[in-house]
Amino acid sequence: MSSTLKKFDMDFPRHKIFLPEYCALNCEDAAGVIVEHAAQRHSYGVTALAVHGLMESYGNPALGDKINNIQMIVADGQPVVWALNMLHNVGLKFKIPGPALTSEVLKQANPKGLNVYLFGSTADTLEKFQRHIADTYPQLKVVGVHEDRFREATPEEDAQDIEKINNSGAHVVLVGRGCPRQEHWVADHVGKVNSAMMAVGAAFDYHAGKLSRAPMWIQRAGLEWAFRLVQEPRRLWRRYLVTNSQFVYQLCKHLVKKRAS
């Protein structure tokens, strides 16, 4: 096992927030671990879990238990970083959004000439994302794409998907199916797909040029959710109104419990 895998896989602790257990890594180190596993074609699961996914898993313990079978959960969202620091004093400085983690993994994978597989999203987004990868990371090879069915696969279809991915020689599988469908998929395929599988959600749309990232000052203030809400109000208003309120309530409750103990 390489020194990078020894350093992080064996030594980094997992910190529970309500139910999911997060790794308090920065983006560069997290990507380094992922690329090490990818290069060796280990079956390795990763998710960048924001407040929405955190609260989905807390409200559905079966989902939370499944998500904790994913080897690496990173904090996608500055409020999640604050919660990690408040509850566990880990000193984490900044979140790891799915788009940023995707970029860093592709950047580190590029000189190694690794193979990439895109799983999920629409045909148009996949085409534009492939173009972005070809233009930005010329030593990488996209060895397969799979347009989302927008339903769960039958057992026969799933077996075919697994065979297709494994036969492609993919080192990294980027999964963009939306939360929590993508987390279900990654967790269900650890031990079956011989690749590093990353649930990165909206990274597909960002890197395809369909969505814009918030300015850094908005991200650091923990307000990127508001920026996204302006971009997609119909789809996101209920999620942010209800989910963010639940998150604040649960965080306060857990902080009170921590101080009392």
Residue 9 confidence (pLDDT)? 53
Do residues 13 and 72 both lie within one domain?
A: yes
Last residue of a domain, one of 201, 234, 249: 201
Quick check: 96 pLDDT over 60? yes
User: What is the C-alpha separation between 248 and 254, in angstroms, rounded?
Assistant: 10
Decide if pLDDT at 136 tops 70.
yes
Mean pLDDT for the chain?
91
Task: Collect all residues with Cβ–Cβ distance below 8 Å to 51 and sequence separation of at least 6.
Answer: 77, 79, 80, 225, 243, 244, 247
Range of the domain at 252: 216-260
97 and 188 in a single domain? The answer is yes
- Number of domains observed in the structure of the chain: 2
Do 154 and 234 lie in one domain? The reply is: no
Q: Please check whether residues 133 and 183 belong to one and the same domain.
A: yes
Residues 23 and 116 in one domain: yes
Q: Is 197 found in the same domain as 89?
A: yes
Q: Please indicate, yes or no, whether residues 121 and 163 belong to a single structural domain of this protein.
A: yes
Residue 187 lies in a domain: yes
Asked if 253 and 147 sit in the same domain, the reply is: no
Q: Write the pLDDT tens digit of every residue in 214-259.
A: 787 887 777 777 777 787 888 777 777 888 899 999 999 999 999 8
Q: Looking at the structure, tell me whether residues 168 and 82 fall in a common domain.
A: yes
Cα–Cα distance, 164 to 150 (Å, whole number)? 19
Query: What pLDDT is attached to residue 212?
Result: 73
- Same domain for 33 and 60, yes or no, is yes
- Asked if residue 208 is part of any domain, the answer here is no
Q: Is 238 a domain residue?
A: yes
110-127 pLDDT, tens digit per residue, is 999 999 999 999 999 999
Residue 207 maps to a domain: no
* pTM summary value: 0.89
Instruction: Identify the CA nearest to 218 among candidates 210, 231, 227.
Output: 227
Number of Cα atoms under 13 Å in the Cβ half of residue 65:
3
Position 108 in a domain: yes
| Same domain, yes or no: 224 and 181 | no
- Please check whether residues 193 and 240 belong to one and the same domain: no
Label residue 185 by pLDDT band (50, 70, 90).
Answer: very high
